[in-house]
Amino acid sequence: MNAITPPPATGLRGWEFDRPVPKHGYAWWYVDALSDDGRHGITIIAFIGTVFSPWYAWSRRWGAGDPENHCCMNVALYGAPRRWAMTDRARGALQRGPDFLRIGPSAMSWDGNALTVEIEEVTAPLPSRLRGRVRVIPQAVSTRAFLLDAAGRHRWQPIAARSRAEVAFESPGLRWSGPAYFDTNAGAAPLEADFREWDWCRAPMPDQTAVLYDALRRDGTRQALALRVRADGTVEDAELPPPAALPRGFWGVARPARSEDGQARLVRKLEDAPFYTRSEIRTRLLGQEATAVHESLALDRFAALPIQVMLPVKVPRVWR
């Protein structure tokens, strides 16, 4: 494990939306939440250098690779209704400062106490309006960050693993609240250049949150993290639980999971795509049974030409 020690004066807040993003690199800010009644879920990812955009991948291959020319506010609603929006936008759509990030008509901002996301998007592949607001209120903010690769080109920071979300949409009409999570990743190279696959999950509990991160690097080595996030935001190393089997996705993507009793159960498929899955699972971590949000990513699949050709259906491009 490679922990980055934050500078003593300011530390790493994580939401520095004006951070430099190098050519071919990326920065993203990720939010997920599940409703208290178990009926709904949401993920939001603000990208500078949209790592899963075929347009950005083609730009890098053609020698450009300007991350600010490929930015996006990805929003997915789960349950009923179910919606997806992920529009790749040009640099003219991007405005940002230390505490705010605007991508086209959507924006994220930090007011010192909470993250507010204003959403104004068009869904894909069937266009419809997606308009609403999500407010993420952290119980505490963490400053510990981790390097995911040996060369130090990719960094991950769980900013607020213990949060509450207030979700209110006008279109579609929807209102709920529930436990939430907020983190950030940044890198100086494409993900597929340094990783073959990875899986991640977070499991909120009444007094703590478990976070697991397992990355298989391109050189065959791994970075396996098991973390306990306490109520005050302290991030501590925990013992890595044993593997637990989950069924593969529809497209054959593996769902590697872990559980202290060696057993995990798939509760709900949130996303099941040719190169990644997002799921709701039941597992046992830090001595407790918990519902977790789980993701798995197969980067060789993402880079394959047939999938790159398919992706514009769900990731359209706006050229202004």
39-63: per-residue pLDDT in tens? 999 999 999 999 999 999 999 999 8
The full length of the chain comes to: 320
Q: What is the mean pLDDT of residues 58-73?
A: 95
pLDDT of residue 319: 81
CA angle 192, 197, 198 (to 5 degrees): 120
**Sign (positive or negative) of CA dihedral 121, 125, 127, 132:** negative
Q: Return the structure tokens found at 169.
A: 């949409």
Residue 266 phi, psi (nearest 5): -75, 120
Helix (H, G, I), strand (E, B), or coil: what is residue 243? strand
pLDDT of residue 68: 98
Got the DSSP string for 122-183? Answer: E-SSS--EEEEEEEEEES-----EEE-STTS-EEEEEEEEEEEEEEEEEETTEEEEEEEEEE
Predicted confidence (pLDDT) at residue 129 exceeds the cutoff of 80:
yes
Cα 175 to chain centroid distance, Å, stands at 22
Q: Return the structure tokens found at 53.
A: 């955009």
Task: For the chain, give percent helix, strand, coil, nearest 5.
Answer: 10, 50, 40
Whole-number average pLDDT of the chain: 94
pLDDT tens per residue across span 151-177: 999 999 999 999 999 999 999 999 999
- DSSP H or E segment with residue 42: strand 41-48
| CATH class for the domain made up of 11-189 | mainly beta
Got the DSSP string for 176-229? Answer: EEEEEEEEEEEESS-HHHHEEEEEEEEEE-SSEEEEEEEEEETTS-EEEEEEEE
Check: CB of residue 57 under 8 Å from CB of residue 31.
Answer: no
Distances, alpha carbon 144 to alpha carbons 4, 6, 11, 12, 147, in Å? 7, 7, 9, 7, 11
Q: Residue 186: which of 47, 11, 8, 10 has the closest Cα?
A: 47
Q: Return the structure tokens found at 262.
A: 């060696």
CA separation for the pair 202, 137 (Å, rounded): 17
Predicted confidence (pLDDT) at residue 10 exceeds the cutoff of 50:
no
Q: What is the mean pLDDT of residues 94-120?
A: 97
User: What percent of the chain clears pLDDT 70, i.e. is strictly above it?
Assistant: 96
Helix (H, G, I), strand (E, B), or coil: what is residue 280? strand
pLDDT of residue 9: 30
Q: What is the mean pLDDT of residues 185-199?
A: 97
Indicate the pTM of the whole model. Answer: 0.94
Q: Where are the domains of the chain?
A: 11-189, 192-310
pLDDT of residue 12: 60
